[in-house]
Structure 1
Amino acid sequence: MQFNIRSLHRDFGYFFIGLIVSFSISGILQNHRQTWHPEKYTVEIRPIHVKLPQNEQEITEDFAKNLTKELGFKDKFRRNSIKKGELKISYEKHDVEIDIKSGKGEVVTFKKTPLIAQMNQLHKDTSIWWIYYSDIFALGLIFIAITGAMMFPRGKFSFKSRGWKLAIAGIVFPLIFLFVLA
């Protein structure tokens, strides 16, 4: 096997292709997570009616956690908030929304979307081994980008003639979004 820039570029590309595709798909899904939650789908919506304290200050995290037992499901508590007169409680497999004045609301039960949930987890995982592998992946992408730029022939389409301008534009474009349009 002969090692040159072209073969190294090809082999790194082949090695990382699965992760490139997974990160790309889950990245698109993450970009739109405010519009729809691609990671989970609704299984059941159940109306509820609960008695809430008269004073909003008494609706604490402990109160929200204890409400889990009242509602009759065992689930891992994530967070709670009160916005626009509504108590929202998020669990691992349930979302609860209750109108503070009336006590009426609903429990939404959902399941993880197969494959999509696992791909999205790639962006969230914080295990030390995954962080190391992600660092190796990032270095691999840098290598693929640099070797790809080096492989083009000389002439009007080379990196020296035209490629560097496109590379600069590719760097400036996201910076415009980050600092000007954000």
Structure 2
Amino acid sequence: MTETPDSPQPSAPPKPKKKRRRWRPAVRALHRDLGYLVVGLTLVYAMSGLAVNHIEDWDPNFVAFEAEHALAAPLPEDEDAAVRQVLDQLGIDEEPTDKFLYEQELEIQLDGRTLYANGETMTILDRGQRARPGLRLANWLHLNRGKKAWTVVADGYAIILLFLATSGMLMIPGKKGMRGRGWVLVLIGAAVPIAYVVLSGGPS
């Protein structure tokens, strides 16, 4: 039996579908969740890193203060009575770490501050430093002052950062990934510390 021109042609067998790589969605999901997990730690390390990088320009842990007050009454000759008078006037309920009275000049050393009372000028100079709220704690953590326990946390954070950096290179396929501009940007980023070491001469 011959086929007429209008007879349907047998269809070609369907091409087998290529298996899609299933690992990229899993990597993206893990990258996302671990990224959320370390947001708090990243903020702590970033803020304290900026602070301690400029330690020559400012104190990242404390802020200095100085205030002058009028002395309400002449200082008594008794040292303990003079100390109590000044502390009561300023509303300070704290035992001095040291004290010294010479005629009408009294020095009271407290935790983080020193008071200088002068019975002749009738003044009290309050000089000291206060901890920077939040930032001092961030610096304490960044510099691993917590030692053993915090070392475990810091090591875990470093491992997660290594995964985030590595997985970030693998998540995007094609021209926007490592096969395209990705490897160029990776090389540029790696060249920054290498160039600095070469230009600065590195460690002595």
Q: TM-score range with shorter-chain normalisation?
A: 0.5 to 0.7
The 2-side partners of 1:172 and 1:166 are apart by 10
Paired residues in the alignment total 133
Q: Are the structure 2 counterparts of residues 122 and 178 from structure 1 closer, same or farther at C-alpha, using a change threshold of 3 Å?
A: farther
Q: TM-score, normalised by structure 1?
A: 0.62
For 1:34, the equivalent position in structure 2 comes to: 56
For 1:148, the equivalent position in structure 2 comes to: 168
Structure that is richer in helix per residue: 1
Deviation at 1:41, TM superposition (A): 1.1
For 1:23, the equivalent position in structure 2 comes to: 45
Q: SS in structure 1 opposite 2:184?
A: helix
Moved over 4 A (4+): 68-71
For 1:112, the equivalent position in structure 2 comes to: 131
- RMSD of aligned alpha carbons: 2.9
Q: Which has the higher contact order (CA 8 A, sep 6+)?
A: 1
The 2-side partners of 1:116 and 1:166 are apart by 33
Q: Are the structure 2 counterparts of residues 34 and 107 from structure 1 closer, same or farther at C-alpha, using a change threshold of 3 Å?
A: farther
Deviation at 1:94, TM superposition (A): 6.0
Which is higher, the Rg of structure 1 or of structure 2? 2
Q: Is the 8 A contact 2:66 2:128 kept in 1?
A: yes
1:130 aligned to 2:166? no
Amino acid at match of 1:141: L
Q: TM-score, normalised by structure 2?
A: 0.56
Q: SS in structure 2 opposite 1:168?
A: helix
Equivalence map 1:20-169=2 (5 Å): 20-44=42-66, 72-75=108-111, 93=112, 108-126=127-145, 127-154=147-174, 156-169=175-188
Deviation at 1:129, TM superposition (A): 1.1
For 2:104, the equivalent position in structure 1 comes to: none
- Structure 1 residues not aligned, in runs of 5+: 47-67, 76-92, 96-105
Amino acid at match of 2:144: D
The 1-side partners of 2:182 and 2:139 are apart by 33
Deviation at 1:69, TM superposition (A): 6.3
Aligned residues: percent identity?
Answer: 29
Deviation at 1:108, TM superposition (A): 4.9
1:116-151 residue CA offsets vs partner (Å, 9 max, x unmatched):
111111222241111111011000001011111111
